[in-house]
Amino acid sequence: MRLDDILFSQGFGSRRECAGLLAARLVRVAGQIETDPSVDLTTEGLQFEVEGQAWAFQATSLVLLHKPAGYECSQKPTAWPSVMLLLPAALRRRGIQPVGRLDQDTTGLLLLTDDGKLIHRLTSPKHHVPKVYEVGCDRPVDAAQVEQMLRGVVLDDDPLPVLAEGCEVTGENSLRLTLIQGKYHQVKRMVAAVGNHCTSLHRSGFGALTLADGPASGHWRFVSDAERAALMAKAPR
């Protein structure tokens, strides 16, 4: 693929803007400044730099963001700034969007992609992709509350009970909850349904991905090919 087409496909602006980046000597390939827009490159495994930022060619982008509190998972936020502001303009231009949503006061692992099929694959309950949440509670957590969430609780918008895939006490007033659904405010509503109240919420895992190796709060990174493959592996039942 031509270099200017590569830059355009990766969200670095219009074709004229991409040509301008090359003319301004702001693009490096294999460590060397490249100014020729017509140079033909193999995209598989391609690494390059734009304005000093390292990039890898992505046919579709999948990004892991460590979401801080105070941001909405929306392209058109109403009361808080959008999480999109935490990402570079090149990713925003690609039409990247959150895989599911976290409330503005919820922190932790948020995936974003420009692949609609991937969004469906990762959010559909039938694919059993687990999401793990660290929950702080207003009142002490007891075994009865844990058992009730594992058996299932009824929420006010659905006559069928929703249940946790996993639930364990992690402290006097805290628990770890694993879900495969993605209902509106599901964690907070499940905790309320067993007679407690959620005071803090942090997503620590999404499928095979965790925040164990970063990034830090407010920062992002690309999901590697190996991580994507692990994420797409069907969870055992």
Q: Which residues are catalytic?
A: 103
- What three-state secondary structure class fits 79? coil
What is the rounded distance in angstroms from the CA atom of residue 66 to the CA atom of residue 166? 23
DSSP string, 144-187: HHHHHHHH-B--TT-SS-B--SEEEEEETTEEEEEES---TTHH
What is the rounded distance in angstroms from the CA atom of residue 77 to the CA atom of residue 232? 30
The tokens describing 203, both together, are 């997503």
- Using alpha carbons, list the distances in angstroms from residue 168 to 70, 91, 132, 150: 27, 37, 11, 10
What is the rounded distance in angstroms from the CA atom of residue 14 to the CA atom of residue 49? 18
The tokens describing 218, both together, are 């407010």
